[in-house]
Amino acid sequence: MSLFPFPRVAIVGAGLAGCTLARLLRNAAIPVTVFEREASINVLRSHDSSLELQGPAGLRVLREAGLYDEFLKYARFGTGGGAMFDKNLKKYLSTNGPAAAIEGGRPKIDYSWLRQIEVYSLPPEIFRWGHRLQSIEDDLSMRFDHGLETGYDLIVGADGAWSKVRPILSTVQPVYAGIGGLSLKIKNGKELQPDLYELVKRGPLLSYSDSKFIGAQLMGDDSLGISAWSKREENWTETCGYNVSNAKDAKGAALKEYSDWAEPLKKMIEVADDDIKTNSLYELPVEHPWKSRPGVTLIGDAAHLSTPFPDEGANANAAMADALNLSYEIIAAAKATEPFQVLNNGLDVFGKHVFERGAETLQKSRANMVDLLFTPGAPATTFNRYSKRLLVKGWKRYWVPNWLVRDTIERKYMDK
């Protein structure tokens, strides 16, 4: 492959955002190096999750990256439904799962599988595994645990929530969103827990009441991913009164916390495996534009970290869209007669676009959390307001019980 001499790109972070960008740039013959703190692709930082890819974002990116056919080998179609309940399993909303038709659906894939597709599509020599970044110096040299790395025209921070690239562009750090709890897993759920499998085989189950949440989703290996989160103080793992590292203690405390919830929801906690992870959710403030600086930019969670509440897979789709949009600017600069000027102008435009789009996602995420987890009586007391945001996305995709439809639609038009 004949590589352009400019720009030489360093990507910090080998998650979806970083690997997507690397693939797009390599396809355009632009030299790129990916620095990753993990020792290898085999290390996962947290429990896996299932992502729903959307046509205007994730699926388009995969096509442009030349990975769509490989993606189809692992994608799951016809599982795009789902439902929202309260603690008594009273249904408030369900989504109409897309038909099995490939082009018309919103397919799902496990995060780990999609990441592997992207990593293995790239030459292994472009990766620098086991490189943990400490900071970016004023001269844009990168200080890793092992020493300095220099000689790059562009550094892209794709290193997630606690980005080490972000501080050179902004002093803003993630803030605690007020929600924490346990992430659990039920291996081989289809065979061992068929009743729970039936609840989630068409899509995620989401239940809210009393500032608490239990969610379940089906993974590609037929395991079930379970989340039991609630409104908590930031230091809850230190003040909760039990050993969060002990599965028996943690599940026992959770069952007490959810003692008045429906039996199938409590069973998800009770029968979960002992591989338990604690989660505390963080987000970036809505108003956090970074200063434009030549030679550095951010994508993915490093740029616009939000909680998982805007939509299933929304953050992953946004990260992949960031990568695609940034690749356009880099490729345009590589072909220009004045590449430095074109690149820096492009970074300025890109940064403003990412901030505006990220702010919209953050606002939606925050509003959904307030409606579902921070308001007394939710979801009954807040569903009208919450459903209006779904109406904006497209009414046909959602089913709402008859007892809620009339009031929801009347309020929609009264507020115009």
pLDDT score of 409: 39
Give the chain's length: 416
Spell out the alpha helix ranges (H) of 33-158.
60-64, 68-72, 111-120
Render pLDDT for 222-254 as a digit per residue (tens, 0 to 9).
Answer: 999 999 999 999 999 999 999 999 999 999 999
Contact between 399 and 105 (Cβ < 8 Å): no
Contact between 109 and 76 (Cβ < 8 Å): yes
In whole angstroms, what is the distance from residue 343 CA to residue 363 CA? 30
pLDDT score of 100: 40
Contact between 270 and 247 (Cβ < 8 Å): no
pLDDT score of 165: 97
pLDDT score of 30: 95
Residue partners of 73: CB distance under 8 A and separation at least 6: none
Calculate the CA dihedral of residues 370, 373, 376, 379 and round it to 10 degrees. 100
In whole angstroms, what is the distance from residue 234 CA to residue 166 CA? 23
Calculate the CA dihedral of residues 56, 62, 64, 65 and round it to 10 degrees. 150
Neighbours of 146 (CB within 10 A): 11
CA 244 from chain center: how many Å? Answer: 24
pLDDT score of 325: 95
Question: For the whole model, what pTM was predicted?
Answer: 0.90
pLDDT score of 406: 40
Contact between 206 and 213 (Cβ < 8 Å): yes
Render pLDDT for 354-392 as a digit per residue (tens, 0 to 9).
Answer: 988 888 888 888 999 999 999 999 999 998 888 877 765
In whole angstroms, what is the distance from residue 381 CA to residue 254 CA? 25
In whole angstroms, what is the distance from residue 56 CA to residue 314 CA? 12
Strands 127-129 vs 108-110: parallel, antiparallel or unpaired: unpaired
Contact between 306 and 213 (Cβ < 8 Å): no
Q: Which of 208, 204, 183 is nearest to 374 (CA)?
A: 208
Q: Which one-letter DSSP state was computed for residue 55?
A: I
Q: Which regions of the chain are under pLDDT 50?
A: 46, 97-104, 394-400, 402-416
Strands 205-209 vs 82-85: parallel, antiparallel or unpaired: parallel
pLDDT score of 230: 97
Q: What angle do CA 282, 288, 289 make, to 5 degrees?
A: 140
Q: Which of 225, 177, 174, 172 is nearest to 197 (CA)?
A: 225
